[in-house]
Amino acid sequence: MKHRMTLLLALLFSAVPACTPSARLRPPDDFAALEGQKDFVMRAANPDGVVIAVRREANKPAGSLKFWCGMLDAKLQKDGYRADGAARDVTTTTGVHGQAMHYQRVEHGRAYRYWVTVFVSGGRIWMVEAGGDAEKLNGATGGLVEQAMSSVFIG
């Protein structure tokens, strides 16, 4: 009986990671996964230096999507980023609502883009990010990155 209980507890605890909320997305084909990314759930880059990533943070202090988007916008504006168009509402295929925001920043005469989509779910803040040189995160590459970002699975 004691052996069965130990086995049952071991099975239950081994299943806990599967119950932990996670997020994933499939980057465009010309992107390769970057390993050893402690601050990211996943991160990938293409040969032009465009990066796409998923980041997860605890929702502390507990805030709404509107709160976290406002906080992020204020920080980015303070750091020299300027909104590139209006923020827009998005929904994942699993029904999680979020907000997509695009920014630009000029540094040393070069324009850079930073795109972020924010979701609040399961006691966590999920950020799907993309960034790179404005000339490279444009056109077909920009479209593929947008498509990958909108395909995020949060569950």
Instruction: Write the CB contacts of 135 (distance below 8 Å, at least 6 apart in sequence).
Output: 111
Is the pLDDT at 10 greater than 70? The verdict is no
Residue 59 belongs to a domain: yes
CA distance 46 to 29: 9
Mean pLDDT of 62-75: 96
Examine residue 12 and state whether it is found in any structural domain, yes or no: no
* Domain assignment of residue 131, yes or no: yes
pLDDT value of residue 13: 35
Q: How confident is the model at residue 73 (pLDDT cuts 50, 70, 90)?
A: very high
Which residues span the domain enclosing 142? Answer: 22-154
User: pTM for this structure?
Assistant: 0.83
Instruction: Judge whether 17 lies within some domain.
Output: no
Reported as a pLDDT band with limits 50, 70 and 90, residue 21 is low
3-state secondary structure of 45: strand
- Which CATH number belongs to the domain containing residue 111 in this structure? 3.40.1000.10
Q: How many domains does the chain have?
A: 1
